[in-house]
Structure 1
Amino acid sequence: MSTPFDRLPSVPALTVTSTDVADGEDFALPQYSAAFGVPGGEDRSPQLSWTGAPETAKSFVVSVYDPEAPTPSGFWHWMVVDLPAGTTELPSGVTDLPGAAWTVKNDARAAQYIGSAPPEGAVDHYAIAVQALDIASVKELGLDEEATPAFVSFNVLPHVVARGVITAIGRR
């Protein structure tokens, strides 16, 4: 299954897994959006684990992006940046981030995970990505808490030294 990341320059692969969603499988109900009115949704970020980071990795960026959202630009549901190099996992529903990590405001302009909420009858594919960077902080690039996920992604691209992506499915 292709992802929006497939159009980007090739980098070594990280192995990404989750106890909440398997690659190519549906999100569990907690990963759907209460904020967007999905019954039973909890806006709970999925548990993620990753391995295979190169020694040049100084930090990680984790994101959830829906390229099929009914907008011309898709929808960024979540982005966490500045995860320390030794990080290999985020628990489900994480709120206490390690080190100097912080959450970028998503496309709803909230610094939190916003769950899946495709329109009725739609099936959307969500790219859950972990990217290893050769910089310790996106702030080294002049980015701050007002940066959008798309702008962060654009600016970190030359610093990505490895990437892993799993695809989750949201349907209503």
Structure 2
Amino acid sequence: MKQIKLLSFVLSALPLFSSYAFDLKSADVTDNQSLKKSQVFNQWGCTGDNKSPELSWSSPPDGTKSFAITMYDPDAPTGSGWWHWLVVNIPADQTGMAENAGEKGGKNLPKGASMVTNDFGFKGFGGACPPPNAKPHNYQITVYALDKEKIELPDNASGALAGYNILQHVIDKVVLTAPTNLR
């Protein structure tokens, strides 16, 4: 009888723990499928369009004051991965990014948002560009819901410094992973 009461209590409490389901979708990226040629870098021997993907998210957790987006390759042969795109200070009322929001200069970003220098050496989206004949790299596109309205970073902040500051304020995150070896 105690087990039935316990099960009943747990089942009745589930809505309290699932009042939101932070979700990330993209017309350009499907989880566990390769990136498109449009998200491939257009230098270093790679021949893509270098456009950041369209992203849309919904049901962020209560207390979200801003968002951050990263595209990171943990499989890059560097010993520390590779930061392809970092955007911070995305307003809390934002529900997505249009394709090519990561264009150099930031003109396609929402007001208040800014990009951090990627590992290619510029502020903008740097698409996939694995080494020749590499196994697919698992590009991780992550949207973070943050408990802070503005992440303060120096103008020359690295991806690691931005990542550290983002992770200090995460309420929740959603990830699309795209295993890709396109050049």
Same fold (TM over 0.5): yes
- Equivalent position SS for 1:25: coil
Segments ≥4 residues shifted beyond 6 Å? none
Aligned to 1:85: 92
Aligned residues: 157
Cα distance between partner residues in 2 of 1:129 and 1:111: 17
Instruction: Give the drift of 1:83.
Output: 0.2
Alignment of 1:1-172 (within 5 A): 14-39=22-47, 41-94=48-101, 95-122=107-134, 123-139=136-152, 143-172=153-182
- Identity percentage of aligned residues: 38
**TM-score, normalisation: structure 2:** 0.82
2:51/2:127 contact within 8 Å kept? yes
Instruction: Give the drift of 1:42.
Output: 1.2
* Greater strand content: 1
Q: Which amino acid aligns with 2:174?
A: G
Instruction: Give the drift of 1:109.
Output: 1.7
Instruction: Give the drift of 1:96.
Output: 1.6
* More relative contact order, 1 or 2 (CA 8 Å, 6+ apart): 1
- Equivalent position SS for 1:138: coil
Deviations along 1:64-92, one digit per CA (max 9) or x if unpaired, are 00000111111000001000000111011
Q: Which amino acid aligns with 2:49?
A: E
Which moved further from structure 2: 17-26 or 50-59? 50-59
Root-mean-square deviation (Å): 1.4
Higher-Rg member (1/2): 2
Q: Which amino acid aligns with 1:62?
A: I
Q: Which amino acid aligns with 1:99?
A: K
Instruction: Give the drift of 1:13.
Output: 5.8
